[in-house]
Amino acid sequence: MSQHAGRGAAAFPAEKETSLPLKSLLFRAYGVRSGTVRGLILKLARLLDGGELRAELRSDLLRRIFKHYHDVEIGKYSHGGCFVPGQFSRYTKIGAYCSIARSAVGLTRDHPLKFKSTHGLFFNPKVGFVDVEKVEFVPLEIANDVWIGHNTTILPGTRTIGNGAVIGAGAVVNRAVPPYAVVVGNPARVVKFRFSADVIARLEAEAWWTRDLDDLQADKHSFTTPLESGYE
């Protein structure tokens, strides 16, 4: 947005109608199972929406591609490793306003410990030896305003990460993370909560992440200063 834009200007410009046919073509072309082709399409999708970060924050095309072809649902304004194919497994749902390191990994299926072999040949049809999935995926839901740090690994069976949670760099998460908890280590453990229980309850009730960025303009001050003293 131009520095000369007025205070009421939209945070992001409206999608250009002229780009819609091209975006539709790119969406269909992504169905080609070629890493090279898909990588090129993702680059073009980012260029169409203003570059890597800007596109990840706002691109409907990127979100359609990841939901349809990778079974990863990504909410508005979330960005980072969720837009790297394969970093987050199938049946992952990510809320709005999440900040995810590009090196973070979210896994929704494990190798079988009770089969004769743990090798993917014997449970993953993509490898070409079996015809159907032999190990179920466990859906992962990452809520809103979650910060996931560098080299984080979210293991299968971690069904939920709550609103406002922070996953420290290098953490290995193997269980649910409560809202606004800060977790670190291997295995990850809660070391503190970002706010008091009362403030957390108010934030959960407010659910500000359901609003578009433009709607938050009038309340910008509360997002750019320490919160606790203003809520208590």
Which residue, among 196, 134, 203, has the nearest Cα to 164 in the 3D structure? 203
Is residue 111 flagged as an active site residue? yes
Of the listed 68, 111, 119, 150, which one is catalytic? Answer: 111
DSSP 159-210: -EE-TT-EE-TT-EE-S-B-TTEEEETTTTEEEEESS-HHHHHHHHHH-GGG
Cα separation values, 189 from 176, 183, 185, 192, Å = 10, 5, 6, 9
Cα 213 from chain centre: 17
Q: Are 12 and 58 in contact (CB under 8 A)?
A: yes
- CA distances to 70, 121, 126 from 33, rounded to whole Å, are 12, 20, 12
Sheet with 160-161, strands from edge to edge, namely 72-74, 92-94, 140-142, 160-161
H helices of the chain, in order, are 20-29, 35-48, 52-58, 60-70, 197-206, 220-223, 228-231
Q: What is d(CA 140, CA 6) in angstroms, rounded to the nearest whole number?
A: 40
Residues that are catalytic: 111
